[in-house]
Amino acid sequence: MTMPSFQRTVALLLAAACLFGNTAAAQALPDGVAKAFARAGIPRQAVGVVVQEVSSRSPRIEQNADLAFSPASLMKLVTTDAALELLGPTFSWRTEAYATGTQLADVLQGDLVIRGGGDPKLVIENFWLFLRQVRARGIREIRGNLVLDRSYFQTEPADPAAFDGDPQRPYNALPDALLLNYKTLSFRFLPDEAAGMVRVAMEPTVDAYAVAAPQLAAGDCNEWRKSLQPRPSASGMGFDGPYPAGCGERSWNMHAWQLTPDQYFGVVFRQLWRELGGVFSGEVRAGSVPPDARLLAQWRSPALSEVVREINKFSNNVMARQLLLTIGAEVSGPPGDIQRGTAAVRTWLAGKGIAAPELVLDNGSGLSRNAQIAPRTLARLLVSAFHSQSMSEFMSSMPLAGLDGTMRNRLLNLPGVAHIKTGSLNGVRGIAGYVLAASGRRYAVVSIVNHVNAPASHAAHDALLQWIIEKG
């Protein structure tokens, strides 16, 4: 080994010791923070905390650092950091359209095959632009079928009500290699008191999916969603309850859980294709791209760095689940699934020297009662990420305290000094991210509460962030 190589090796070892060593004893929670947790009725054993300067050898504060906690959406930090480093911030997803048979003038005498690449951002506007590319190839009428190729992912049948018994919640949409518009329908209720009726506008507009408007009723707007009593089916939406006039105009985004992925994709495709001047009367079915099919069009998603921002700033569970399966597909080859995604993340963590025997990644979004992580594992990931090439993309993806995302209404007295991801489930509250102290030092912070009184922990978490800013 040459001297320069030896010096580089020593430098790397010292850096690793700086990041992951634990040579100094950490202090307990600051008194004011501990008292804030106590006032909330949260016992010490229900709180896991690590606070560590990003260039320090060891945590400055730790409590229950090695216990496994349910992290809720803090798990998205693991999935998104892994994706940025394994796939690169410029990675994008591809959706492709192929044709079989022959094209005579503007008539395709064959099938249109659409192959999904797991794009988590294939919203209606982007899908419309994609179909315009197909129309630009001179195809007006399709006399075959629409074939949907979802082979990029391998997903098991699952119950969208399994997590919380509410399948119409948009976050309960399941991963799909051809996930279109998050498989949601948005209903806008417009009361017309003069006419004594409610008009309902649906987006996307789909003529084949009938919507029966609810009755207009007097009264205030308490629990208006519960009052409506939605009755979804594969062919339309009805409402068994009234809509209170006191609500004014309101919107409700619903997961179209009673439509299969093929049914949802099919009704939206038929509508958009017709609006583009196209003709299609064939069937919509699952399949794969035949070897002799020819490529017609390709749609590329926004870059991963943009998608990660949406996942972390607004805690998008569906996109995070798509991302974990994408990691599996890209690292090990398609089809991507939870097992391959999890294996890739574990190997990546091990390569960074982060032991995480307690880690249960589950679906990668944190929308799970099985997911687990220790505060120390997450803190080490944050410290390591700060020194990675994708640091700027990762840190900027987190909500800015007092300014945007899920932290827009917190630390309003010191906006912008903390990039903090939040996590929330019944019995779980957590924060994790980076804080710039008044001293100019930057800290990684993780604090997770698993307790029935977790919803009361906001004041204690904000007190911890305030202490880091002032004393760090």
Instruction: Select from 244, 269, 301 the last residue of a domain.
Output: 301
DSSP strand pairing (279-280 vs 141-142): parallel
Confidence of residue 57 (pLDDT cuts 50, 70, 90): confident
pLDDT at 11: 39
Same domain membership, residue 380 and residue 309: yes
Q: Tell me the residue range of the domain where 436 lies.
A: 3-90+304-471
Q: Is residue 87's pLDDT more than 80?
A: yes
pLDDT at 18: 44
Same domain membership, residue 285 and residue 260: yes
Q: DSSP strand E in 18-127: where?
A: 47-53, 61-63, 94-99, 102-104, 107-109, 112-115
pLDDT at 414: 82
Neighbours of 243 (CB within 10 A): 24
Cα distances from 427 to residues 46, 283, 395, 456, in angstroms, run 10, 46, 27, 10
Summarize pLDDT for 291-319 with one digit per residue, the tens. Answer: 999 999 999 999 999 999 999 999 999 99
What does the alpha-carbon distance between residue 243 and residue 100 come to, in Å, rounded to a whole number?
A: 48
Same domain membership, residue 114 and residue 70: no
Q: Which helix (H) or strand (E) holds 298?
A: strand 294-300
pLDDT at 319: 98
What does the alpha-carbon distance between residue 428 and residue 447 come to, in Å, rounded to a whole number?
A: 11
What is the rounded average pLDDT for all residues in the chain? 93
Whether residue 319 contacts residue 310, with contact meaning beta carbons closer than 8 Å, is answered with yes
What does the alpha-carbon distance between residue 123 and residue 167 come to, in Å, rounded to a whole number?
A: 20
Region 65-70 average pLDDT: 98
What does the alpha-carbon distance between residue 110 and residue 230 come to, in Å, rounded to a whole number?
A: 40
Same domain membership, residue 113 and residue 76: no
Summarize pLDDT for 226-246 with one digit per residue, the tens. Answer: 999 999 999 999 999 999 999
pLDDT at 24: 63
pLDDT at 16: 45
Same domain membership, residue 191 and residue 98: yes
Same domain membership, residue 415 and residue 401: yes
Domain count of the fold of the chain: 2
Q: Is residue 17's pLDDT more than 60?
A: no
CATH number at residue 145: 3.50.80.20
What does the alpha-carbon distance between residue 377 and residue 389 come to, in Å, rounded to a whole number?
A: 20
Same domain membership, residue 295 and residue 391: no
Q: Which helix (H) or strand (E) holds 320?
A: helix 317-332
Summarize pLDDT for 108-152 with one digit per residue, the tens. Answer: 999 999 999 999 999 999 999 999 999 999 999 999 999 999 999
Q: Is residue 195's pLDDT more than 60?
A: yes
Q: Is residue 25's pLDDT more than 90?
A: no
3-state DSSP assignment of residue 117: coil
3-state DSSP assignment of residue 286: strand
Token digits for 376? 């120390």
3-state DSSP assignment of residue 75: helix
Q: Is residue 177's pLDDT more than 90?
A: yes
According to DSSP, residue 37 is labeled H
Confidence of residue 156 (pLDDT cuts 50, 70, 90): confident
